[in-house]
Structure 1
Amino acid sequence: MVTSPSVPRLVVAAPSSGSGKTTVTTGLMAALTARGLTVSPHKVGPDYIDPGYHALATGRTGRNLDSYLCGPELIGPLFLHGARGCDIAVVEGVMGLYDGAAGEGELASTAQVAKLLRAPVVLVVDASSQSRSVAALVHGFVSWDPEVRIGGVILNKVASDRHEELLREALEHVGVPVLGVVRRAPEVGTPSRHLGLVPVAERRAAALDAVAAMAARVAAGCDLEALLALARGAGPLSAPVWDAGTALADAAPADAAPAPDGTGADGVPGAPTVAVAGGPAFTFSYAEQSELLTAAGAVVVPFDPLRDEALPDGTRGLVVGGGFPEVYAAELSANEPLRAAVAALALGGAPVAAECAGLLYLCRELDGRPLCGVLDASARMSERLTLGYRDAVAVTDSVLAAAGTRMRGHEFHRTVVEPGAGAAPAWGLRGPGRRVEGFVRRGVHASYVHTHWAARPETARRFVAGCRAP
């Protein structure tokens, strides 16, 4: 381990979901950025949408810290990677402070991440239906785990001056300072739908207005100097700084790694082009995936399946991550030239990694609208939410993993694919409700399971090696 320079840092948590931590966190990031500070934004857990708002607030890539997907040992390194060159880091928690992976104790909880980062916690409390009871609530959270340092409270949804007075008076007996009071107000323009907030990519102008409103509320109601002082008291963090190239060098070798001179098995020099789907329909990805692909020797080129009628020139591999294709099914279906190009690439054996929305895009149809037809399966919207962490084992050799490789992932969707698995499934899911799911066909790996490649950097090397193959 190496001791990195101290990065001032805060974790913003709450007793439960719905307390307002996204509003407060995003507003705090934007307010600190407006003061001229370089703010590193982070999100605990697998969520893809909140980091988009964080990025808008700070002008930097929002990054996830998930100890279930990546392991506790990578939390510090990934945090330091994102926080390079920053004046302060702000980490938004997930769910309630002590909530984590079901049946796994503190694993993947905000509390665990705060302890791994040695970071003070600011507790955002929805005070809308209480007064003196707030003291008992905060006391319980402070005393539950002595290793979690709750450095202050921000009271949210406070109704009046008198309400604020009662809350502050009650909290005097707990010994936790009140670092902010945010008054009750209408929602600040962050609409939701079936999987949470609407992503920034779908509403950029409105999202900018919403972030500005959040910043104004936090700047008006919170003691920014006290929050900065708390963050600066976090002290040093002893951990190596994650780096994609180093992670690849330390990872297990891929079965078909490229030659040291940069040529592939076909003797073609240069780096293969990997097209990565983006735009409003495909907004779910972890930044480290593209960084690992680049470190493995690929040229990563983004494209928008809603607008681009062709894949990037020279595409040798394709990554289609998560998002909301169900919202854009008509537009995706209408882009027949791109659908044909994707089908031709996949059926020609090129490596294709498709997660969740990507899986739907490769199906014959989604809610009756024709899509790429790479997989002999159809998709439809469902009333049922499928949500949770997954402990997965590769069932079939693929461009991502050799059979038997274990990887942890996450499912989050309101769609159904029928059948749920092909003749050669992608993953076997362990634990309760164990099943096989997903599809492996030629170079295609398609599945509902979202994975974080930083946990297994060799995935990127194996994928790029497949792109170099004849």
Structure 2
Amino acid sequence: MAECAPGEAVVSVPAVVVAAPASGSGKTTVATGLIGALRRAGHRVAPFKVGPDYIDPGYHGLAAGRPGRNLDPVLVGMERVVPLYRHGAQGCDLAVVEGVMGLFDGRIDENQSGAIAEGSTAQVAGLLGAPVVLVVDARGHSQSLAALLHGFATFDSTIRLGGVILNRVGSERHDQVLRAACDRVGLAVLGSLPRMAELEVPSRHLGLIPAVEHGVAATAAVEAMTDLVAAHLDLHAIAALAHSTAAGPIWDPGMELMPPDPAHRAETGRSGVVASADSGRAAIAGGSGAVTSPHRRASGPSAVVAGFDPVIAMAGGPAFTFGYAEHRELLVAAGAQVVVFDPMHDELPTGTAGLVLPGGFPEEHAADLAANAALLAQVAQQARRGLPVHAECAGLLYLTRSLDGHAMAGVVDATAEFGPRLTLGYRDAVALTDSALWRAGERVRGHEFHRTRLVATGTATPAWGWHVGGERIREGALTHHVHASYLHTHPAGNPEAIARFVAAAADYAHTRATT
């Protein structure tokens, strides 16, 4: 297969978008298996997921052999979707984009007009100029499938429906009836998958168990999905269907951190820029361990203290699995050395000058996290000394006094417990005060996704303010140089916050070295 040269700026990598009429139709099984099967066939496949999902990209990454990435217009802005796609697809000849919910489902906005909802699979498919393959859960369907497909094919003329994948088909006769329904509306059937209960990946209160936690079983599940898709889908037809009209700049973490163009800020309402394809690239090392940048700047919003490339410790392992690949890339571009560590077993890396505690499932590993008392004490001590800390969701829980009765770091004056209901949704948040990342009054789009809650909270300064259903919310905790919150943000949508955090870490490293 022909490989796209890094920096190629003329033609985008072709893509297919795997969508469905509704959630639960089998998109993840099909998308993951398709990525794996196309890779087996010799393609270099770039995997993507629409929306803020952190779990599906882990399975995509196992299948593709490269990081799964997200495309979320709500969190990063429409103007960044294509550049981020082109960045993530470099070195590949094909991309598979798994959708979110139903094809036209997205952020609910009472003022919305038109068919395409913000953040929907349809919106991303339109931005990429890529065809949609519709995965239909065939259970309970017969001839009436034709009416459903007719509706999806004609609902919005800007979306090209390239074909149908029939999932969970009960018998050969059932398959024949469904194919006849597809023929009636002129949609090609790209494959038919039988019901295979053994392919179900274990799930819990927030969805599938992340691939990192599921270990060997996750690898086995991906292999099974790949086998199923390779046996039952027309890979040649799907690869031939792939297309993209997306053109223009490729997202570049280094250029994104440059001082913003006033015209761009006025046009988009956002800081930062996207770079042309021939701009310099940061040297990003995959996997764990230290990562450094060859082109740290000495000026601009991400400038760091001369002579200091601060060590940013980033929590990983089974308890901290929620994150974006662009986060590390931006940290590196801002001048940081990024070292991944596992809070269940490790201590803080030597020379830590900043700490990132991303999202995940600490409630599933609270006992093991509490058992690493040495690290908890380190984090508490360094936070009191002014260590910049960026904690989201799982990170917030780790910083509380206790989680479901297990002792945590005690940096945030609150206790946490598993709650009675899921909190889920996009938030339009305002920073309530200055921090190591944001300035008071800055507006940020984020996403909540948790079943835990804080109880017995103290008097910490809240980090964010927003409204939900008319209710005024004050959320998160600011203490010392710590910013802790349930709100997940996408670093690519907030590059100046990353620049400030690295600068704060460099200041901390400089202060410790000179005192």
TM normalised by structure 2 equals: 0.87
User: 1:40 aligned to 2:40?
Assistant: no
Q: 1:355 aligns with which of 392, 400, 410?
A: 392
Q: Which residue is equivalent to 1:21?
A: 27
AA partner of residue 322 (structure 1): G
Tell me the residue number matched to 2:127: 116
2:256 matches 1:247: yes
CA distance in 1, matches of 2:10, 2:308: 35
Aligned partners of 2:83 and 2:467: how far apart in 1? 28
Contact 1:329-1:369 within 8 A present in 2 as well: yes
State the match for 2:268 in structure 1. none
Taking the aligned partners of 1:283 and 1:238, their CA distance within structure 2 comes to 32
1-structure distance, mates of 2:459, 2:224 = 48
Q: Secondary structure at the match of 1:91?
A: strand
| Maintained 8 Å contact 1:258/1:465 | no
Q: Displacement of 1:236 after TM fit?
A: 3.4
Whether 2:164 is the aligned partner of 1:127: answer no
The partner residue of 1:93 within 95, 99, 104 is 99
Root-mean-square deviation (CA), in Å? 1.8
> Of the candidates 352, 358, 374, which is equivalent to residue 337 of structure 1?
374
Q: Does 1:390 align with 2:427?
A: yes
- Structure 1 residues 247-300: Cα deviation after superposition (integer angstroms, max 9, x where no partner): 1114459xxx985499855x6x13000000000000000111111000000000
CA separation in 2, counterparts of 1:455 and 1:50? 21
Instruction: Tell me what 2:196 maps to.
Output: 185
Structure 1 residues 65 and 422 mapped into 2: Cα distance closer, same or farther (>3 Å)?
Answer: farther
How many percent identity over aligned positions? 57
The 5-angstrom pairing of residues 44-63 of structure 1 reads: 44-63=50-69
Residue number in structure 2 paired with 1:212: 223
1:247 is aligned with what amino acid?
E
Give the deviation of 1:47 after TM superposition: 0.4
- 1:47-81 superposed Cα distances (whole Å, 9 cap, x missing partner): 00000000000001100000111111111011111
- Could you tell me which of 279, 284, 292 is aligned with 2:330? 292
| Native 8 Å contact 2:416 2:452 kept in 1 | yes
1:438 to 467, 471, 476: 476
In structure 2, the CA distance between the partners of 1:250 and 1:258, relative to structure 1 (3 Å rule), is closer
1:220-253, Cα deviation, whole Å (9 max, x unpaired): 111111001100xx24322210010011114459
Distance of 2:496 and 2:411 partners within structure 1: 26
- The 2-side partners of 1:198 and 1:235 are apart by 32
Where in structure 1 are there 5+ consecutive unaligned residues?
Answer: none
Corresponding residue for residue 149 of structure 2 = 138
* Rounded Cα–Cα distance in structure 2 between residues aligned with 1:396 and 1:187: 50
Mapped partners of 2:335, 2:467: distance in 1: 33
- Secondary structure of the 1:293 match is helix
**Counterpart amino acid of residue 256 in structure 2:** A
Deviation at 1:307, TM superposition (A): 1.1
- Provide Cα deviations, 1:106-125, integer angstroms capped at 9, x if missing partner: 10000000000000000000
2: CA distance, partners of 1:94 / 1:270: 42
Say yes or no: does 1:447 pair with 2:485. Answer: yes
C-alpha displacement at 1:418, in angstroms? 2.4
Equivalence for 1:195: 206
**CA shift digits 1:406-454 (9 cap, x unpaired):** 1000000000012568542110113522311001111100000000011
Question: Is the 2:303–2:503 Cα contact (8 Å) retained in structure 1?
Answer: no
Q: 1:462 aligns with which of 491, 497, 500?
A: 500
Report the 3-state secondary structure (helix = DSSP H, G, I; strand = E; otherwise coil) of the residue aligned with 2:484.
strand
